[in-house]
Amino acid sequence: MPPCWQVLRAGRAVTASIQDLLAPWLAERLGLSLRAIAPVSGGCIHRAWCLRLEGGERLFAKTNQASALAMFEAEATGLRSLARWAEPPLRVPEPLAVGLAGSLAVLLLPWLELDGGAAQGASGWRALGAALAQLHRRSCGGESRGYGFEADNFIGSAPQINTWHSDWATFFAACRLAPQFRRAAAAGRPLAGAERLLAELPALLGSHSCRPALVHGDLWSGNAALLASGGGALFDPACHWADREVDLAMARLFGGFPAAFFAGYEASWPLPEGAGQRQELYNLYHLLNHANLFGGGYWHQSQASLDGLLRGGPAG
């Protein structure tokens, strides 16, 4: 979902062709009658649409080529998992349908009216931070089989491996950093010190002990918003069971979250000692993923982060 659901203008031919595919799909799957669609801003991988039904109700749809269906199915699974542990004022939109409409892969979601004018201000962000902390806390008592997830999914457009492990450091090495290091090497951009970092990861995490919590997994500011009706929402997850600190680390990586968000989280469930040091380690995964997807300066950032971790000693 885009961070700001702003309806745009688009070519009539493109819009009409998408509507021609969506209308019979909606009628068959959900018995809904589609009146009109309009493109929505914010997506960089998929197209996004505002669907207006004959009764006036609006829905949100993502579309892409049929080959993207696995991405939508993984997103739907993640949204359902997050929604299970979310309580007001946090809302996670639960999928209404996912599948193929002719040549289109489609993910259908409720329409959320976002607080584009930030009417809630700092109090809204503080409440959203606290709600995330409570989601993490509640899920810690869940039925996780360790660190991982019920299926592999995606981080952006890249595959994300979620094989279950009983040890957090082992999971983070095997399922997060190692696959990114391999992709970088295969692209001709091996990172110096990668194998050493993997070997030293247990020492870097030191005595840090964490219970598996269900995390959003891709918590940059574009995947969270305040709602016009009050409360806040999280969407576009890359869910897995992990150290809850990974969500807070990524929320700081690219900016965009106000200080009130972190204050609300900390007031609800304070982070343990050493979280600031572990943040650098956890965010290396996202820097590597961006380097593998987009190249450019992310390669330098990844190498600089790796070098700093090897110089800095334990993060636990």
Which residues have CB under 8 Å from 312's CB, separation 6+?
Answer: 277, 280
Q: Are 148 and 175 in contact (CB under 8 A)?
A: yes
Compute φ and ψ for 153, nearest 5 degrees: -145, -145
152 has catalytic annotation:
no
Please give the C-alpha separations between residue 109 and each of 61, 70, 189, 227, in angstroms, as whole numbers: 6, 16, 39, 15
Q: What sections of the chain are H helices per DSSP?
A: 12-30, 69-85, 121-139, 168-171, 178-186, 194-205, 245-253, 259-268, 275-294, 298-312
- In angstroms, the CA 248 to CA 261 distance is 10
User: How is residue 75 written in tokens?
Assistant: 């997103």
DSSP lists the bridge partners of residue 108 as 61, 97
Catalytic pick among 20, 152, 218, 307? 218
Kindly state the DSSP code that residue 66 receives in the 8-state scheme: G
Instruction: Tell me which residues are annotated as active site.
Output: 218
